[in-house]
Every structure is written in structure tokens, then in C-alpha cells.
Amino acid sequence: MYGNKESALEPTVRTTLKRHPERGAFEVEQIQSILDEGFVCHVGFTTEHGPAVIPTTYGRVGDTLYLHGSPASRMLRNLKAGLPVCVTVTLIDALVLARSTYHHSMNFRSVVVYGTAVEVKDLEEKAAALASFVEHIVPGRTAEARAATEGELRGTLVLALPLAEASAKLRTGGPIDDEADLGLPVWGGVLPISTTFGAPQPDEHTPAGAAAPDYLVGYHR
């Protein structure tokens, strides 16, 4: 549960970092910002055939993470039944090149969420959840695109996962070389990674000469 509802989560046995605990973070704002910047999460759960990890999109409204898909989805059916779930999101910010192969690394920001997802049955919450998937990817899009119909809402399985047991982990800075390696004639440092987007490309059904919306022209992550 929230240690301070508007600032930080209380660490649990599962979210307490055993390795490099100094890289752990429990601030709600930081956890949410990492989730909001990512595009894809990986959902881990167990099945009768062993563990499974499935990549999928997600949405967030407040302190709730939403997953959605076909009611026939194996993942969603398993989670709907009450199986514990682990959801992860990772952002890579830079490659870290050390003077030894052993100390090479990456600068990253990641979030791990544990919990039990519950099915969203209320149509109003379901509509808000489905809209959050679009807004998560392209903020401003739901103001223009047609909203989901009642039939589409009923034909989609939506699960809600509280962001109550979660933690972030971050690495920043340059390589951490052994003292004895610092004199080696080897380049060391970081190679930053950034995500860029090209110009919007209209499809054949977009009216000729129609300008791309501002939220696409100025799109950034």
C-alpha cells in the first residue's frame, strides 16, 4: 500500500532490491513517469505448462494499470482467474562502455509491478480504460477518434492491476572501472540512446491535403 499516498510506496519483500539497493526508487511520481514513457510491458505469470512472459500494450489511469485484449486470450483468462502477476517496463537510456568487458553495462529506468488483476465490468470504467491505451501512446488522440461502442466494450476483456506493490530501478552515470584498468588505452564512457519519430504519413483514406494533427507533428517521448 502507499506509505504516503501521494509520494511513495512502501517497500515489500518482493519490491525490495537485493542487488544494488541504492538504485531502487519508490516515489509514485517516478514510477508513473517511467510507465508513461514506455510503450510495451512484459506480463509474467505461471500456467499449467510453466511460466510465461507476454509483451503487450497497457494504459494507466491514476494508480491503476490496465491490460486488455480478446476474451480468448490465454494470458487474460489466466489473470482473470486470480493468478498472481508481475508486470515490467524497461527504458534503455545509454550503453555504458567500460575498460573491461566485465564492467560494461547500460543506463536504464525500469518498473516492476506485482499484484492480482481484476476484471473491469463497469462499462464506464471500461471505456475510460480503453481510452487510456490510446492516450498512453498518442496523447490527444481520443478527442478526435471515435470512442469504442458498447458492443466493442463488451467484446473486450479489460483487467485492472493496482499500482500498490511496485518499485523502480535506475542506473545512471558512466562506467565503474576497476582502479587497475583506468590506465588502459581503451575508450570508456557512455553512448546515449534517444527515440525519434518521422513525419506522419497519411493513408489512402485521409482527404488529400489534410494536415496532420498537431499532436503528431510535435510528437515526442
| Domains with residue ranges and CATH for the chain | 2-198+205-217 (2.30.110.10)
Instruction: Note the pLDDT tens digit of each residue in 138-154.
Output: 999 999 999 999 999 99
CB 221 within 8 A of CB 196: no
pLDDT of residue 48: 87
- DSSP-based three-state secondary structure for 201: coil
Residue 79: how many CB atoms within 10 A of its CB? 23
| One-character DSSP codes across 126-183 | HHHHHHHHHHHHSTTGGGTSPPPPHHHHHTSEEEEEETTEEEEEEE-SS----GGGTT
Per residue in 153-193, pLDDT tens?
Answer: 999 999 999 999 999 999 999 999 999 999 999 999 999 99
Q: Which pLDDT tens digits describe the chain residue by residue (221 residues)? A: 333 456 999 999 999 998 899 999 999 999 999 999 999 999 999 988 899 999 999 999 999 999 999 999 999 999 999 999 999 999 999 999 999 999 999 999 999 999 999 999 999 999 999 999 999 999 999 999 999 999 999 999 999 999 999 999 999 999 999 999 999 999 999 999 999 999 999 999 999 999 999 999 989 88
Residue 57 identity: T
